[in-house]
Amino acid sequence: MNFIEELQWRGMIHTMMPGTEEQLAKELTAAYVGIDPTADSLHIGHLVSVMMLRHFQRAGHKPIALVGGATGMIGDPSGKSAERNLLDEAALRHNQESIKAQLAKFLDFESDAPNAAELVNNYDWMKEYSFLDFIRDIGKHITVNYMMAKDSVKKRLSSESSVGMSFTEFSYQLLQGYDFLWLNQNKNCKLQMGGSDQWGNITTGTELIRRKTDSDAFALVCPLITKADGGKFGKTESGNVWLDRRYTSPYKFFQFWLNVSDVDAEKYIKIFTSIDKAEIESLVAEHAEAPHLRVLQKRLAKEVTVMVHSEEDYNAAIEASNILFGNSTSEALKKLDEETLLAVFDGVPQFKIEKSVFADGVKAIDLLTDIAVVFPSKGEMRKLVQSGGVSLNKEKLENQDQIIVASDLLNGKYLLAQKGKKNYYLLIAE
C-alpha cells in the first residue's frame, strides 16, 4: 500500500513538503502526530490525525503518537482565540494513560515488528530542560521575524484580536519545533503530520532540524474537516463527540454518524474508516440509487462505532434505535442498560415521581393523568386506550385501570409511556 496514494484518494492531504513521497518510498520512516492531553479522552476531532497514523502503519511505516504533556501545560494558539487553562502533572499523566488506551484501538503498540507504534510524552524531555539552556540551544536558531510570519501568530496579534498573545503561547511553535528535533535525533523521526492549522508549527520544526543538523525533515497536513452546512465538525448541541463512553454514550456516538448528511457521509466514510476504494465506490453508487435507505450513513456508523467501541455496543445501539424508531418489543427495551435508556430517551418529556407511589400499586389512568400529566384528562386517555393507542414499556395497555407496581419499572426506576406512535414520556421513580 502506498501511503500518499491512499491519503490522496481519501481526500486527506492538504499540503505536504516536497520530497515527502520520495522519503517514504526510500525506507521505513517514522512519523508523528501531536495530541494535547487537555482531557482524558480523545474526541472525534482527533480522529483524522489518528486515522493518518493508522494508514501510515498499514503502509508499513512507524507511527509515533506524541502526547504533549509539556506543551499541554502551555496551550497552542493555532485556531484559538483565547489562552487555555493549564494542567498539573498528575492530571496530564492520567490523561496520557487514558488516551493511550484509546489509541490502542487504532494502532498496534504491542507488535515486535519494526513499525510498531510508540507513545511518547514531550514532558519527559522538557521537564529537566532549563529556560536558559533552551533559549541558548534552540531559541537562537529561529528568528522572531520567522515566528511572527506564521498565520497563527499574525491572527492573534492583528487588530481583530482583542486578547493579544502571551509570551508563553508565542513560544509554543519553538517548543513544538524542538519536539520534532528531539524525535528526529532520538527516534529517527523524519515526518510530522497534523491538521492544516498546524502547518506553521510543523514547518518551524523542519526548519530547526535543517539548521541544527543540516538534514531533511518533512511535513504533511490534512484539511480541516468541515460539514456541508458550514457547521463545525464533531460538535453537537451538547458539545464534543467523545470517544470515551462516560462522556458520549455508544448510542449517541452511533447516532452522530448515522445522522450526517449525504454529502458528509460520502466524505467521512473515506476519512474515518479503513474500507478500501473499490468497496467505498460501490457503496457510493448503491447510495445514489436509493438515498432514502441511507446506505452510506449506516455503514459509516457501523465501522466507526465498532472501531471505537465494540461490535456489542454497535448491536446495542441498533436495538436502541429500533426502540425509538422501529417496532421493537418490550423484551428489547428491558435489555437496555440505564446509560443507553437515558441516551435513547434524551429529550423526551420526563416526569419525576415518588417511588412510594408504586409500593401498593397505582391504576394506570391515575398515574398518567393525576401523577404524571401524560394525558390532560381521563376521558382522553380512556378513548386512546380503547383504540389501542397507549403502551407502557412497549406493551399495549388493554385496560386503563391496570395496576402498575414497582416490579414493572425498568432498571427498578423507569416507566416508558407511549401515546400514539411517536409520543414518548419517561416516568422516573425516585
Q: Which residues are catalytic?
A: 38, 43, 46, 80, 84, 176, 197, 232, 235-236
Task: Please name the amino acid found at residue 131.
Answer: F
How far apart are the C-alpha atoms of 173 and 201, rounded to whole Å? 5
Strands 189-195 and 30-35, how do they pair? parallel
How far apart are the C-alpha atoms of 399 and 390, rounded to whole Å? 10
Measured at the CA of 317, the angle between CA 316 and CA 323, to 5 degrees, comes to 90
3-state SS class at 349: coil
Q: CA torsion angle for 256, 262, 264, 267 (degrees, to 10)?
A: 120
How far apart are the C-alpha atoms of 310 and 409, rounded to whole Å? 28
Strands 235-236 and 403-404, how do they pair? unpaired
Cα distances (angstroms) measured from residue 162 to each of 77, 154, 303: 14, 13, 43
Q: Which residues contact 9 (CB under 8 A, 6 or more apart)?
A: 270, 277
